[in-house]
Amino acid sequence: MRHRIFMTLCVAAVGLSACEQPTGEAEVERALKDLNVIDESNLNDVMLTVGDPNEAVRYFASANANDPGRIDLQRGLAKSLVRAGRNADAVDAWQVVVTNPEATDTDRVDLADAFVRNNRWDEAAATLNTIPPTYETFKRYRLEAMVADSRQQWEKADSFYQTAVGLTTRPATVYNNWGYSKLTRGEYSEAERLFFDALRFNSNMFTAKNNLVLARGAQRNYTLPVVPMTQTERAQLMHTMALAAIKQNDVSMGKSLLTDAISTHPQYFEEAARALEALETNVVN
């Protein structure tokens, strides 16, 4: 009797184990699925940052084809296209993103950015107008300033640039854009000040150095600014200043600066040499 009871308990135990097994397998599958989602998310982040842009485009294009409708994959493709310099394709991709029910104001700002990269200013403005004024970010106001610039709405541009500067701890690019805006308006001293501000926050920004030289040259100030620069940069800035001098008919100053640029450059400075040769030929003729 005791033996039969023992066997019954064993059978019951085995039966219970068999019933519980599918539950255990389901938990394992669920855990693996969660792990796969985490791994995929990490891979998406990697592809958006350190991956080769064209490789990232292929990755997200394939992922979108396999799992259409996922906004994270749609965003990944759009961002990768921007990184790859495929600006026209990026517009199409961002337009897909903003039609997704999960789209946000951030997505619409990124679409406006894509329009700006394609010089489609009216569409950029229309997109920004769909975003409520309560959505205040650095990128939104930087784009608003650039759109106002494109329409020569100078007061609005200045206001937007000032707001953008206050919304970032790295305003060098904003100051540079703002300075270039002032340069195109002929406000050279203001432009010079803003380019110095850009370099105060990023002393390595060569574009701001070059623009600074243009602003000084426009005021017939042909001395290089006191900012950090390499020997190659010094030569390049002398070349820029020479061209600014020649443009204002200060030919002898331009010739002198070109000669200095050639001698300063650590290698053969073909562009400056060509400009000097053309200048001397014109003088002779």
pLDDT (tens digit, 9 = 90+) per residue, 211-230?
A: 999 999 999 999 999 999 99
Encoded amino acid at 278, one letter: A
Q: By C-alpha distance, which of 82, 104, 102 is closest to 92?
A: 82
Q: Is the pLDDT of residue 34 over 80?
A: no
Helices within the chain (DSSP H only): 2-49, 53-66, 71-83, 87-98, 105-117, 121-129, 138-150, 154-165, 172-185, 188-201, 206-218, 231-247, 251-264, 270-284
Mean pLDDT of 68-82: 95
Encoded amino acid at 121, one letter: W
Q: Is the pLDDT of residue 85 over 70?
A: yes
Q: Which of 46-50, 100-104, 172-176, 177-181 has the lowest mean pLDDT?
A: 46-50
Answer with the residue of higher pLDDT: 86 or 10.
86
Name the percent of the chain lying above pLDDT 70: 84
Q: By C-alpha distance, which of 279, 214, 272, 276 is closest to 244?
A: 214
Which of the four pLDDT bands, split at 50, 70 and 90, describes residue 232?
A: very high
Mean pLDDT of 99-121: 98
Do residues 244 and 258 lie in contact, with contact meaning Cβ atoms separated by under 8 Å?
no
Answer with the residue of higher pLDDT: 38 or 94.
94
Mean pLDDT of 221-249: 96
∠74-79-83 over CA atoms, to 5°? 150
d(CA 221, CA 39): 58
Q: Is the pLDDT of residue 36 over 60?
A: no
What does DSSP assign to residue 225? P
Average pLDDT, the chain: 88
Answer with the residue of higher pLDDT: 163 or 48.
163
Architecture in CATH of 49-120: Alpha Horseshoe (1.25)
What does DSSP assign to residue 119? T
Q: Is the pLDDT of residue 15 over 60?
A: no
d(CA 149, CA 182): 10
Mean pLDDT of 88-116: 98
Burial classification of residue 101, based on how many CB atoms lie within 10 Å of its CB (0-12 exposed, 13-18 middle, 19 or more buried): exposed
Chain region(s) in the chain for CATH 1.25.40.10: 49-120, 136-219
Q: By C-alpha distance, which of 230, 232, 201, 196 is closest to 213?
A: 196
For residue 120 the two structure tokens come to 């489609």
Which of the four pLDDT bands, split at 50, 70 and 90, describes residue 6?
A: very low
For residue 269 the two structure tokens come to 């400075």
Mean pLDDT of 15-37: 49
Do residues 218 and 189 lie in contact, with contact meaning Cβ atoms separated by under 8 Å?
no
pLDDT score recorded for residue 44: 80
d(CA 216, CA 232): 20
Answer with the residue of higher pLDDT: 109 or 9.
109
pTM (two decimals): 0.80
Its CATH class, for the domain covering 136-219, is mainly alpha
Q: Is the pLDDT of residue 11 over 70?
A: no
N- to C-terminal Cα distance for the chain? 126
